Amino acid sequence: MLFYCPIGDMFLKLVVFNDHKLGCLLEDGSVVDLKQAYKAVLKSNNTSQIEDETNFRIPSKLVAFIQTGEKGLFAAKQAVEYVKEGNKKSMSGEKLQYKNEDVKLHAPLPSLASRLIMVGANFYDHTAGMYSNMGNPVTIEDLKKQVAEGNYAPWGFYKHARAVIGPGENIIYPSKTDRLDYEVEVGAVFGKKGKDIPEEEAMDYIYGYTIVLDMSCRSTVGGSGRRGGGRGPSNELVSGKRFDTSAPMGPCLVTADEVGDPNKLKIGLNVNGEVRQNGRMSDMIRGFPFWINHVTKDLTLYPGDIVCGGTCAGTAADMTPRGPDRKQAPDLFLKPGDKIEAWVDKIGILKNQIIAK
């Protein structure tokens, strides 16, 4: 897990690595162990109560680190500067820096209590394509008119934290579909507790942003009581949006001040090197302030909860018309062995591969 913080004109990538240590990824691919490095800084300054001060500034868990705010980022900066000055080990011999080949990065999921709130049909081009392929031709201008007239209802769903996987991990092709789809999204990570949040205050609650892949079953396989298309069997509790490995996340969490206006971000996705999605967050039907206000009505969100803003055009579903049998050709849908690269400006590239169950 990682996010950026500025040091001069450079950006630091904070990571959770190996056995979930909090660290910082350097330009050469090595990683600084922030807790050990900050402890070494305090020792070199003859600071008293080193353990207490270290745990206060740089907690071991990402969600706790997010809650430290600026004081945590400042401590991280001190730790990295100490290592960059040539201190590879502490005075008592603890390792402060790990080589790239000795590092395993994890998804930037703050905690297993974190909720992934997924916004549905929130880009004009993707939504127009989906409706048209379902036999209800709609143009972007039609959608804009519906929104302006208040006739476009917001909707969404949750994904489970235990469905999250990190960069380089495999997406397991679910048995309940023969049309597995991809959706690149930007996830806004909450930095503080909030309820009934006004739109004008909404962005003050966002700590940073990461990439989330919304893996989706677009059709189901066999059996009565099932429907031939959509997100999953019509009578099941676990939909085609929620299955193990259905939420790849990463490679980093970038602080909100470094991203600036998320509407200016470009997003995209490649399958086996072929460009499939190439869009911008400015094409969202409703922005993050609306969704934060909408979701927090009568519901408290906590540090580490994530609101995902939806996806742009280019998914297999919005590019594949339905045939006379109401089915979509399988050509653009994912298959075992396919390699996905999802990217977002200022965040990076999230790479995953599809494997058979």
Asked if pLDDT for residue 2 goes beyond 60, the answer is no
Q: What's the pLDDT score for residue 231?
A: 44
Query: Burial code of 91-105, b = ≥16 C-beta within 10 A, e = fewer?
Result: eeeeebbbeeeebeb
pLDDT for 232: 42
Element (H, E) at 306: strand 306-308
- Can you give the pTM of this predicted structure? 0.90
For residue 134, the model assigns a pLDDT of 84
- Position 214 scores a pLDDT of 98
3-state secondary structure 115-128: CEEEECCCEHHHHH
Q: CATH classification of 116-355 is 3.40.640.10, yes or no?
A: no
256 in Cβ contact with 210 (< 8 Å): no
Residues 48/42, Cβ–Cβ less than 8 Å: no
Of the pLDDT bands very low, low, confident and very high (cuts 50, 70, 90), residue 225 is: very low
Query: Whole-number mean pLDDT of the chain?
Result: 90
Q: How many residues are there in the chain? A: 357
Contact between residue 245 and residue 163 where contact means Cβ atoms under 8 Å apart: yes
Contact 317, 130 (CB under 8 A): yes
HEC sequence for 249-298: EEEEEEEHHHHCCHHHCEEEEEECCEEEEEEEHHHECCCHHHHHHHHCCC
Distance CA 291, CA 90 (A): 46
How many helices and strands (H and E) does the chain possess? 9, 19
C-alpha–C-alpha distance, residues 33 and 224, integer Å: 54
Please tell me the predicted confidence (pLDDT) of residue 64: 95
Q: Which two tokens stand for residue 189?
A: 């990570």
Confidence check: pLDDT of 57 > 70: yes
Residue 8 has pLDDT above 90, yes or no: no
Question: What is the tens place of the pLDDT at every residue in 255-290?
Answer: 898 889 999 999 999 999 999 999 999 999 999 999
Q: Tell me where in the chain the CATH 3.90.850.10 domain(s) lie.
A: 116-355
* Cα separation, 1 vs 109, whole angstroms: 7
Lowest mean pLDDT of 114-118, 261-265, 322-326, 349-353, name the range.
322-326
